[in-house]
Amino acid sequence: MQRIPLARRAAALPPSRAPHPRDSISFESGHAFPGVLPDLTRESERALTHANETLQYGPRPGLPGLRDWISGHMTSEGARVTADQVLITNGAKHALELVCRALLDEGDAVVVTAPTYFSAIPIIRSFGARFLEVGQDAAGIDTVAVGALLRERRQAGAPLPKFIYDVPDFHNPTGVTTTLERRQALLQVASDFGVILVEDSPYRSVRFEGAPLPPLKALDPDNLVLHLGTFAKLLAPGLRVGWVAGDPDLIARMTALKTDAGSCPLTQRIVLEFCQAGRLGEHTRRVQEAYGLHRDRMIAAIRRELPDVQFQVPSGGYYVWLTLPEDMDGAELERQAAREGVAIIAGSRFFAVSGPEQGARHVRVAYSHADVDEIDEGVRRMAAAYRMVSAADSVGVGR
């Protein structure tokens, strides 16, 4: 935080969102569907029988058993990391914060996609970094643009960005999954320039169809990938158990900066008990099925109620990214939708730099939290808001 004027730091706060009426339907948050939250009573009871582990300070890098489990899990996906290369954090956002603390000095550059995960923006910005945006298409991050950008900076004698931040699986907000070819190209560019890749992968297991692609960390001979993982999107957001895995020296540096007396051993143990009891596989199928149904219901409703809106059908994750007709403003639609009783998020918030231009024609809609009937009703409300914004636009007001 050094040398960042206080006013700038406060600006790192995402704008506070107006409260919604009590019956507002939530398409805005990454909250879980209450129907898939697991019953953790048994795990919690078992965890508390180890009170001298779970109620004492935990080891700074995390519970050894959980680091082992994560190492095994990642290795089974082709990403060979040892338990020593795993640092447990208070969720994946905390992992990103530690990455920033370890790597960023004020004025450093960070590459992000346009659009990118909107909660990553204030975290990275609060460390005084500047953003370099690159585009994304249906195959993922534009690696040609990344290569050109890095080459240009090298030729100009400018410092290279400290890292490239991306969400390769079911990208937030676009839902795009980076293809294998694009993943390989991204690793090649990172390797050519020796730039660190931060792979944020909270939705990886929330997959509705198709086979998983290897994580970036599995394609990483030079150990340039820092993989951020979490149990939030699969198990429960409230547990606040995530991790970062990667190069041992970087993990050691982040561990040194993790001065919070260790992450909560109780919630770590609850997660470990859940995984060791073999419940994760069945639970994952249940989550995939529930969110798959939600996705289908929302896609059908949008096609029915909002035929002029364009989108790609995501094959996993929590979100649909809508492209509105020219001249329709996403921020205006967000405001009108809130009045109609459905919360969505204007696209501009997902762009670190170019929000007003690139984001204007988009909104992000989450199908995770609402139930299927709320999804139908919420899309009806969105459509009502859409018609009002259209009508206002056509008579030249409302802007």
Rounded to a whole number of angstroms, the minimum distance from the CB of residue 12 to its own copies is 6
Q: Does residue 391 interact with its own copies by CB under 8 A?
A: no
Applying CB under 8 A, which part among 31-39, 218-226, 348-356, 387-395 lies near its own copies? 31-39
Sites for its own copies among residues 300-339 (CB under 8 A): none
Is residue 115 reached through a cis peptide bond, with omega within 30 degrees of 0 on the bond before it?
Answer: yes
Q: Which of 25, 27, 32, 87 binds its own copies (CB under 8 A)?
A: 32
Q: Does residue 8 interact with its own copies by CB under 8 A?
A: no
> How much is the CA Rg of the chain, to the nearest whole Å?
21
> Which residue in 368, 344, 364 sits closest to 206, CA to CA?
368
Q: Does residue 110 interact with its own copies by CB under 8 A?
A: no
Rounded to a whole number of angstroms, the minimum distance from the CB of residue 253 to its own copies is 6
> Which residue in 34, 21, 117 sits closest to 364, CA to CA?
117
Question: Phi and psi (nearest 5°) for 237?
Answer: -60, -35
Q: Does residue 29 interact with its own copies by CB under 8 A?
A: yes
Applying CB under 8 A, which part among 137-145, 252-260, 343-351, 389-397 lies near its own copies? 252-260
Number of residues that bind its own copies (CB under 8 A): 68
Distance between CA atoms of residues 322 and 350, nearest Å = 13
Q: Does residue 9 interact with its own copies by CB under 8 A?
A: yes
Structure tokens at 222: 């030079």
Q: Which of 39, 76, 221, 326 binds its own copies (CB under 8 A)?
A: 39
What's at 351, amino acid-wise? Answer: F
Q: Does residue 119 interact with its own copies by CB under 8 A?
A: yes
Distance between CA atoms of residues 363 and 348, nearest Å = 8
Q: Which of 25, 40, 302, 344 binds its own copies (CB under 8 A)?
A: 40
Q: Which of 28, 58, 134, 378 binds its own copies (CB under 8 A)?
A: 58
CB closer to its own copies, 29 vs 179: 29
CB closer to its own copies, 70 vs 124: 124
Q: Does residue 97 interact with its own copies by CB under 8 A?
A: yes
Question: Phi and psi (nearest 5°) for 7?
Answer: -60, -40
CB closer to its own copies, 167 vs 213: 167
Q: Pattern of binders to its own copies over 264-283, x per CB under 8 A?
A: xxxx----------------
Q: Does residue 177 interact with its own copies by CB under 8 A?
A: no
Q: Which of 70, 87, 99, 102 binds its own copies (CB under 8 A)?
A: 102
Q: Does residue 127 interact with its own copies by CB under 8 A?
A: yes
Distance between CA atoms of residues 18 and 220, nearest Å = 43
Q: Which of 21, 64, 72, 238 binds its own copies (CB under 8 A)?
A: 238
Q: Which of 25, 100, 197, 234 binds its own copies (CB under 8 A)?
A: 100
Buried b (16+ CB within 10 A) or exposed e, 222-260: eebbbbbbbbbbbbbbebbbbbbbbbeebbebbbeebee
The Cα angle at residue 47 between residues 45 and 52, in degrees rounded to 5? 120
Residues of this chain that bind its own copies (CB under 8 A): 1-4, 6, 9-10, 12-13, 29-32, 34, 37-41, 44-45, 48, 51-58, 90-91, 93-94, 97, 100-102, 104-107, 119, 122-123, 126-128, 232, 236-240, 252-253, 255-257, 259-267
